[in-house]
Amino acid sequence: MKFADLKSTYDQPFFDLLKQARTVHEAHWPENEVQLCTLLSIKTGGCSEDCSYCAQSARYKSGVEAERLMPKCDILERARAARENGSTRFCMGAAWRGVRGGTERFNQVLDIVREVSELGMEVCTTLGELGPDEAKQLKEAGVTAYNHNIDTSPEHYPNIVTTHTFEDRLRTIKNVQDAGMSVCCGGILGLGETPDDRLKMLEVISEFSPQPESVPINSLMPMPGTPLEDGKTPPTPFELVRMIATARIAVPQAKVRLSAGRTQMSDELQALCFFAGANSIFYGDKLLTAKNPAVEKDLGLIKSLGLGTQQPFTDVPAPKAPALV
């Protein structure tokens, strides 16, 4: 969808926007269903990049220490627990600029993916930049979706990151598409962008061909020690709902994921976001390094709204029986 159409959609009276988004939502999605996704940081901190929102950049004194890649057995334990808790997607994140084929760490990741993919959940990874070969190998190992956010508009991106470019991000997304993985691509509200920057970001995302399979909408979690620690342009509740609704209209077939920042949102605001078209959340007490609402709190919210959670997939190989103890 082009910027001008996004703008007129976004700017219409609030209830008209909600009505339009709800109609699109009902045409494409089960009405009362939320997908639970579990996020795990498999390699935390020490990143070479300078993304000014990120606590995992080695350049900032955020208090997040650089760690090694988590052992496979620990990751598998977390993945099984995620499935037990009702997650249908398991997303593994690494604080890397990117990965290169043939390296020990990439081979380790492929090995991890092969085993996680036997558990019957969607397998998402977010490892930074990928070339065509790396993308193919991840796909073959069992990755179903790759998360690579463009984060903000092309114009604002250089104010936020200088160690890689917006075009670098687009190139990786193309490689992911060519390898046959689904693309998960969204951004962050609150990086000092203008309202137009937010819609320019959505223009790029909705003009991908094919459109992304999921669109995470994050609200900046200001991380101490980062250049954006004070937060710059936090979205107002209505701006957030308008953005979710506009994303729902612009990318009708995508899961719209209400992502980082939910700890600061009221139940009422989250309910409005679900009404406006959000149909997925990150579930579990922690995101990558930052807090997320407690599991019990989220289950309570979902129940009180009469929503249900996406049920486990039946068209994927049955998971291996757990070892008897």
Q: Please say which residue, 17 or 134, places its beta carbon nearer to ligand SAM.
A: 134
Does residue 246 belong to the site contacting ligand SF4 (CB under 6 A)? no
Does residue 95 belong to the site contacting ligand SF4 (CB under 6 A)? yes
Q: How far apart are CA 291 and CA 28, in angstroms?
A: 31
Restricting to residues 49-68, which ones interact with ligand SAM according to CB under 6 A?
Answer: 53-54, 56
Q: How far apart are CA 99 and CA 113, in angstroms?
A: 14
SS3 38: strand
For residue 37, indicate whether it is catalytic.
Answer: no
Restricting to residues 139-178, which ones interact with ligand DTB according to CB under 6 A?
Answer: 147, 149
**DSSP code at position 224:** T
Residue with tokens 């990086």: 191
For residue 262, indicate whether it is catalytic.
Answer: no
Sign of the dihedral through C-alpha 39, 42, 43, 49 = negative
Six-digit token string for 158:
């250089």
Does residue 220 belong to the site contacting ligand SAM (CB under 6 A)? yes
Does residue 288 belong to the site contacting ligand SAM (CB under 6 A)? yes
Partner that binds at residue 57, options ligand SF4, ligand SAM, ligand DTB, none, CB closer than 5 to 8 Å by kind: ligand SF4
For residue 54, indicate whether it is catalytic.
Answer: yes
Residue with tokens 């486990």: 312
To 5 degrees, how large is the angle CA 318–CA 320–CA 324?
Answer: 140
Does residue 39 belong to the site contacting ligand SF4 (CB under 6 A)? no
Six-digit token string for 185:
């691509």
Q: How far apart are CA 234 and CA 219, in angstroms?
A: 7
Does residue 127 belong to the site contacting ligand SF4 (CB under 6 A)? no
- What residues have CB less than 8 Å from 163, skipping those under 6 apart? 48, 49, 50, 97
Six-digit token string for 264:
């600061």
Restricting to residues 253-272, which ones interact with ligand SAM according to CB under 6 A?
Answer: 260
For residue 257, indicate whether it is catalytic.
Answer: yes
Q: How far is CA 165 from CA 82, 116, 217, in A?
A: 34, 31, 20
Does residue 153 belong to the site contacting ligand SAM (CB under 6 A)? no
Does residue 289 belong to the site contacting ligand DTB (CB under 6 A)? yes
Catalytic residues: 47, 51, 54, 91, 124, 184, 257
Interface residue list for ligand DTB (CB under 6 A): 39, 55, 91, 93, 126, 147, 149, 186, 216, 218, 221, 259-260, 287-290
Name the site residues for ligand SAM (rule: CB under 6 A).
53-54, 56, 93, 95-96, 126, 128, 148-149, 151, 188, 218, 220-221, 223, 260, 288
Which residues of the chain form contacts with ligand SF4 (CB under 6 A)? 47, 49, 51, 54, 56-57, 95, 97, 128
